[in-house]
Structure 1
Amino acid sequence: MQSFPQPLSAAQEASYLRQYQNGDMHARDILIERNLRLVAHIVKKYIHSGKETDELISIGIIGLVKAVNTYNFDKGSRLATYAARCIDNELLMLMRGDKKRSREVSLYDPIGTDKEGNEITLLSIIEHNNEDVVEQLARKQSLQKLSKIISEVLTPREYFVVIRRYGLFGHSESTQRELASQLNISRSYVSRIEKKALEKLRHHLD
């Protein structure tokens, strides 16, 4: 992942927060972008969780966006202090969700029956998987290469929009409207981010 911009000073942060309170969405974007380094710092706590770093970063960014959207300037604490809790909460929710979904499954456990009433097991499905192993390996290598290119070329926000929009790297596909709701921006803004990101990728690949 590319290096993140330096954080704002206390005076700069206060100035942008006031502008955002007055409806300046550009100020809001700056507050998010200049706190991305905080996301990367907190993600280090979860680096051995078994999750891909890029996925942890994308979830952390959601927490950061929520923090900027709900921060109460009048309480006096720094935005980073509040944002750190929001980012941490999003990552903890991810871990808890995975824990709930995880179960010990045997290859011999029945998962259903066929038309004749015979039990179907995971092992029987794996044994009848006719996909060529070479094709599986080639696809995996292509995805790894794509992940590297996207991480290097796109900004963190563009990266988040692209992987969620097109369901890359294990994510479900999201509509522009869904992404707009997650990032608390307009659907047209999401469309512009997506278009710019795709143009970057197309230029890089060319």
Structure 2
Amino acid sequence: MPKTVPTSARRPVSPSEAKSPAPKRASDFPARRPGWMNSDELAEAVAEVASDLVDYQSMSDAELRIATKRRLKAEIDFIANDNFTKPGCGQEVFGESLELAPRQTSLGIAAIRKSGIDLPVHLSRLCEAPLLKPDQERMLFQRMNFLLQHASMHRALLNPDRPSRRRLELIDEMIRLAEWHRDRIVEANLRLVFSIVKKFVNTNNGFDELLSDGIVALIRAVEKFDFDRGFRFSTYATQVVRRNSYRTVVVNQEERQKVAGGIQDMDIDISDDERTSAISEKRWHELRSRLAVMLNDLDRREKLIIRARFSLGSHRKVRTLQSLADRLGVSKERVRQLERRAMDKLRAMAGDVKLAELEA
């Protein structure tokens, strides 16, 4: 006869526990489109992302396995929330009306005028989205992370040996919908980026570069912001964009100093404040010719590094050690070592060809 637990020994169950079902596990998510994705609140976003979705139905089995492995390698970053896995949460998240205001041309023009910088008119289109109300901001962050968390749950169920077209389509659509909500947050905060980066603009740091870096920093801030903490996003974003702009200015200054130091090591005079040539045009062309010959004596990696570090040839801007490390597939320190070795070779070759004879 089965043993029963006396009523007096049972733990009391609160009304909230009695009514709240247990959260779903990953294995509880079938590879079918959930009902909340048919919400009227998602209709506009669904229509906009439809053209960006991958056609998995036309893929062969081999292509499908490759696509599955690729999706498994790509991490999905989001701010997790235990409530997102509870039954009925989707209807709750998308049940409230977002009511985003339409874009306004006047807002973009006003942002350009307030910048105090002579900017192309087309940039005004970046600032046409109205500011978000606190409730709209909270809902956008909630929906973005809800979609990404559900995409991650489905991603955990992928099997390269038994790929599922329907699940891949579902993951792809959820991620695109999350990006749609992210973009609405970014658009509404671009005027904030304008107001911050313009303070760092000078003769050595152009607005375009600072703006592009600032937008990238803003996107990262959106992806890392935890809306549950109760702070407004603009407070967090201001610190992120300002810190990124300051870092850009510092890196640019360091790069200019390195370039100046490298040229001085090769005995080229750059001290003239008005940047007039210290040698005649004929001598300058001779110097460039000999420098080209010397560069050809370097190996492929050394030649690439010197040209990129000193903005020679097709390189229109100085490249950082990290960007070269990423391109060559080596460490940043290894690039530094290769640069030092190449400079030593150039100095030795400069002594051999007696570059001093080229001086005016």
TM-score category (smaller protein): 0.5 to 0.7
Give 2:354's aligned residue. none
1:12 aligns with 2:12: no
| Conserved? CA contact 2:200–2:246, under 8 Å | no
In 1: Cα distance, 2:197 partner to 2:280 partner: 37
Task: Please say which structure displays the higher CA radius of gyration.
Answer: 2
Q: Deviations over 1:1-33 (max 9, x none)?
A: 224022211121111111111122211111111
Residue correspondence of structure 1 range 171-190 to structure 2 within 5 A: none
Cα-Cα RMSD: 3.5
- Counterpart residue number, 1:27: 181
Instruction: State the match for 1:2 in structure 2.
Output: 124
Corresponding residue for residue 285 of structure 2: 128
Deviations 1:79-103 (A, max 9, x none): 1110111111111111111222233
After superposition, the C-alpha distances for 1:138-175 in whole angstroms (9 at most, x for unaligned) are xxxxxxxxxxxxxxxxxxxxxxxxxxxxx997487x9x
Distance 1:32 1:87 in 2: 12
Deviation of residue 128 (structure 1)? 1.0
Q: Deviations over 1:163-193 (max 9, x none)?
A: xxxx997487x9xxx9xxxxxxxxxxxxxxx
Determine the structure 1 residue equivalent to 2:191: 37
CA contact (8 A) 1:32 1:68 kept: yes
SS at match of 1:43: helix
Distance change (3 Å), C-alpha of 1:77 and 1:110: closer
Using the alignment, how far apart are the partners of 1:14 and 1:85 within structure 2? 19
Q: Distance in 1 between matches of 2:205 and 2:286?
A: 26
The answer to whether structure 1 residue 67 and structure 2 residue 221 are counterparts is yes
SS in 2 for 1:42: helix
The CA deviation string for residues 116-153 of structure 1, in whole angstroms up to 9 with x for no partner, is xxxx636569721799xxxxxxxxxxxxxxxxxxxxxx
Per the alignment, residue 211 of structure 2 pairs with: 57
Q: Kindly state the Cα deviation for residue 44 of structure 1 after the two structures are TM-superposed.
A: 2.0
- Structure-2 separation of matches of 1:7 and 1:124: 56
- Contact conserved, 1:43 with 1:60, CA < 8 A, in 2? yes
Letter in 2 for 1:2: S
Instruction: Assess, with a 3 A threshold, how the Cα gap between structure 1 residues 43 and 129 changes in structure 2: closer, same or farther.
Output: farther
- Indicate the residue corresponding to 1:140 in structure 2: none
State the secondary structure of the residue aligned to 1:25.
Answer: helix
Indicate conservation of the 8 Å contact 1:20/1:28, yes or no.
yes
Give the equivalent residue in structure 2 for 1:48: 202
For 1:121, the aligned partner's letter is I
Give the aligned residue type for 1:48. Answer: N
Q: TM-score, normalised by structure 2?
A: 0.32
Does the Cα contact within 8 Å between 1:43 and 1:53 map onto a contact in 2?
yes
Q: Distance in 2 between matches of 1:20 and 1:29?
A: 10
User: What are structure 1's unaligned runs of at least 5 residues?
Assistant: 112-119, 132-166, 179-206
Check conservation: 2:205, 2:249, Cα contact below 8 A.
Answer: no
The verdict on how the C-alpha distance between 1:28 and 1:125 changes in structure 2, with shifts beyond 3 A counting, is farther
When the two structures are superposed, what TM-score results if normalisation uses the length of structure 1? 0.53
Distance 2:142 2:184 in 1: 12
Aligned residues: 131
Taking the aligned partners of 1:33 and 1:100, their CA distance within structure 2 comes to 32
How far did residue 47 of structure 1 move?
2.4
Secondary structure, counterpart of 2:124 in structure 1:
coil
Q: Distance in 2 between matches of 1:171 and 1:27?
A: 36
Q: Distance in 2 between matches of 1:75 and 1:129?
A: 64
Q: Deviations over 1:29-72 (max 9, x none)?
A: 11111111110011121123631111111011011011001001
